[in-house]
Amino acid sequence: MEVSFACGILGNMKKQTQRNDVALVLGGSAGQGLQTIESVISKMFHRTGYCVFSTSEYMSRVRGGSNSTLIRISTERPKQALCDAMDVVFVLDTDAYEYLAPRFGEETIVIADTACEKLPKIERGKVVFVELQQAAEEAGGKILMNTVAAGAILALFGIDDADFRHDLEKVFAKKGEDVVAQNIEAAKRGRALGERIAKEAAFSFEISSKKSGEEQLFLDGSRAVALGAVSGGCDFVSSYPMSPSTGVLVAMADLSQDLRIAVEQVEDEITAANMAVGAWFAGARALVTTSGGGFALMAETMSLAGMTENPLVIHLAQRPGPATGLPTRTEQGDLNFALFIGHGEFPRAVLSPGDAEEAFAAAKHAFDMADKFQVPAIILTDQYLLDSHWESRVSVFDVSEKPQKHFIETDAEYKRYAFTDDGLSPRGIPGFGEGLVRADSDEHDESGHIIEDAETRNTMMEKRMHRLELLREEALSPVYRGPEKPAFLVVGWGSTKGAIEEALETIGNKHIAHLHIRQIFPLGTEILDRVSRAQKVIVVENNFAGQAADLLEKHADRKVDFRITKYDGRPFSAESLAREISEIVE
């Protein structure tokens, strides 16, 4: 498929600029429906044949404040990272205009509501004032400004609005025919504004749709985690809503309409974790999804799972702390929390996906690891990864393969905590077989009876902790790009993946390699080997202390040379990382 459209405003400019990547930004206040339009517009570009990535920032307010959405449109492989650059900006109110103004570049096209004309003139950017609010009010109310902007965007990018009308009908159907009709009218008026701007203005971009090859899905990180859980055999979910983890709970509830999944919104996080432990004990495959504040309440249950050798899968969606912190922002500040939560010592797996494809794989792997090795497995994501929309290969999201369940039919001589050569006691399910399945949160013998002798305690501890080596042997492999013996090795984990990739592509130094860690604990041998062989190591992470850098220093037995950290609640942009890495290398 090959289509050309005007990015920005096609008009009287004699020479168009060929682009393969355009950054479209929408700015407004909470309550103006930016997220709704982001989803609809992004999917429109995706269906039209473009590579798309979108991400939002929003304040923890129901109304007010300045929110914005970035939609990156590419002709080649998706640019899956936040960027500071803005090519085309739609501004719906004065607060958003002032908030986004520092990011305007000389060539930025700014389309703002006429209310912004009263603000002090901004020297950067090419500003066009249009009657967005007036058009919305004529269509039915100020709240329709987002749909007016969407209609204008379709006109400027040369996209037919037939599918968009269908999307509006689908999105607003539950609100009644009048609301649907108002939004369709708002989109129509917005399209007229876009066509008028295109004729009057004298600046433009041109971009072509050349997507080919494997079919792509377009979905947010939350749904990717949910689909991975389904692929891993998840059939029970117990959670208490907490941003940004709630999207996974909602996605699982949605999937439960067609699949055999029990979804329970419980009264608190303690109950959620304990119900999941009970579900696993009874033979189900259970998921808990939470954020840092909720995870804090699950510490005792984590230790219970560790002592009883009971599988448990927890999705921990990070946001800035401590306490309530920044509820709607992003951070990678809970790595140490995931590594050390719980009293006493017991093994666990901690997975750290970097995009939607990896979120799917991590969730599936978490269920396999938890079941096979009878340990808690933690899927460590963050607000940025979950709320962003990613293009992902359809082939990755295969949910047809039935997972292997690692429990046995017991006999009359069954011992739940039997000592074995590989350290894995056969796991029985109550009622499945003749044996008595006895679990005890106190230290116990092979049959599950309480003990206090030192010899049995030592043997049980060694049996449980040996699973760290088994988890290491089956760790998710890292992603490595670059020379075998790099002068600089940039190490990242989780959602820093896309920004690091694009930053290194921008720098273009063949002596720099990128090691992306998909399983942060226990660290696989390939990770330790590559870190130990690099001349200089740079670790990039969204926290203050450099928690992954500390972990690497401990296990790779070498010093991390440089740490690039960010802890303001925002993800790394590709440009800022390129600057910081360049300064180190130079």
Say if 38 falls within a structural domain: yes
Q: Where are the alpha helices (DSSP H) in 78-120?
A: 94-100
Task: Write down the pLDDT at residue 222.
Answer: 98
- Residue 476 Rama label (left phi>0; alpha psi -120 to 50; beta): beta
Q: Which two tokens stand for residue 537?
A: 């190591």
Query: Quick check: is 391 in a domain?
Result: yes
Looking at the fold, whether 424 and 354 belong to one and the same domain comes out as: no
CA atoms within 13 A on the CB side of 35: 13
428 & 502 share domain = no
Assess whether 203 and 315 both reside in one domain. no
Q: Give residue 37's pLDDT.
A: 82
- Among the listed ranges 155-159, 286-290, 540-544, which one has the minimum average pLDDT value? 155-159
Same structural domain for residues 170 and 306?
Answer: no
Percent of the chain with pLDDT over 70: 94
Residue 103: which of 496, 503, 570, 492 has the closest Cα? 570
**3: confidence class by pLDDT, cuts 50, 70, 90:** very low
Where are the alpha helices (H) located in 208-286, listed in sequence order? 221-231, 246-255, 269-281
Mean per-residue pLDDT for 195-200?
80
- Given 450, 472, 494, which residue is the final one in a domain? 472
Q: What is the pLDDT of residue 212?
A: 61
Q: What pLDDT does 203 receive?
A: 47
| 161: pLDDT strictly greater than 60 | yes
26-40, 376-390, 530-544: which range is least confident on average? 26-40
CATH code of the domain containing 318 = 3.40.50.970
Residue-level pLDDT at 183: 92
- Same-domain check for residues 131 and 70: yes
B/e letters for 418-432, b = 16+ CB within 10 Å, e = fewer, are eeeeebbbbbbbeee
67 compared with 374, residue with greater pLDDT: 374
The region of weakest confidence among 6-10, 412-416, 519-523 is: 6-10
Q: Is the pLDDT of residue 2 over 60?
A: no
Say if 82 falls within a structural domain: yes
- Average pLDDT over the chain reads 91
330-353 pLDDT, tens per residue? 999 999 999 999 999 999 999 999
Please compute the mean of the pLDDT values over residues 108-130 and round it to a whole number.
89
> Is residue 16 predicted with pLDDT exceeding 70?
no
For residue 158, the model assigns a pLDDT of: 80
pLDDT-based confidence at residue 205 (cuts at 50, 70, 90): low
The CATH number of the domain where 566 resides is what?
Answer: 3.40.50.920
Q: CB-based contacts of 176: which residues, under 8 Å, 6+ apart?
A: none
Check pLDDT > 90 for residue 525: yes
Q: pLDDT category, 202, cuts 50, 70, 90? A: low
Task: For residues 205 and 149, state if they share a domain.
Answer: yes
The mean pLDDT of 159-188, rounded to a whole number, is: 87
> For tokens 């926290």, what's the residue?
543
Same domain membership, residue 560 and residue 430? no
The mean per-residue pLDDT over the stretch 289-309 comes to 98
The CA distance from 16 to 247, in Å, is: 41
**What's 195's domain CATH number?**
3.40.920.10
On whether both 9 and 85 belong to a single domain, the answer is yes
CB atoms near residue 64 (< 10 Å): 12
Q: 178 in helix, strand or coil?
A: helix
Percent of the chain with pLDDT over 90: 77
Whether the per-residue pLDDT at 7 is higher than 60: the answer is no
Asked if residue 114 has pLDDT above 60, the reply is: yes
Q: H helices within 157-268, ranges in order?
A: 162-172, 177-200, 221-231, 246-255
- Which residues span the domain enclosing 522? 479-585
Assess whether 85 and 136 both reside in one domain: yes
Q: Of 367, 396, 425, which closes a domain?
A: 396
Question: What pLDDT is stored for residue 209 in this prediction?
Answer: 63
Where are the strands (E) in 309-375, listed by range?
312-318, 349-351
Average pLDDT of span 296-307: 98
* pLDDT score recorded for residue 206: 61
In a shared domain, residues 541 and 566: yes
Buried b / exposed e over 355-391, threshold 16 CB at 10 Å, is bbbbbbbbbbbbbbbbbbbbbbbbbbbbbbbbbbbbb
Among the candidates 422, 446, 472, a domain finishes at 472
Least confident of 71-80, 248-257, 376-385: 71-80
* The pLDDT of residue 60: 80
pLDDT for the residue 13: 29
With bands split at pLDDT 50, 70 and 90, how would you rate the model's confidence at 15?
Answer: very low
Tens-digit pLDDT profile for residues 395-404: 999 888 889 9
Check whether 502 has a pLDDT greater than 60: yes
Tell me if 518 is assigned to some domain. Answer: yes
Together in a domain, 109 and 16: yes
**Domain assignment of residue 424, yes or no:** yes
**Residues 248, 163: one domain?**
no
User: Domains in the chain: how many in total?
Assistant: 4
Work out the average pLDDT over 511-516.
Answer: 98
What is residue 207's predicted lDDT score, i.e. its pLDDT?
64
- With respect to residue 401, please indicate whether it lies within any of the assigned structural domains: no
Residue 308 lies in a domain: yes
Residue 245 lies in a domain: yes
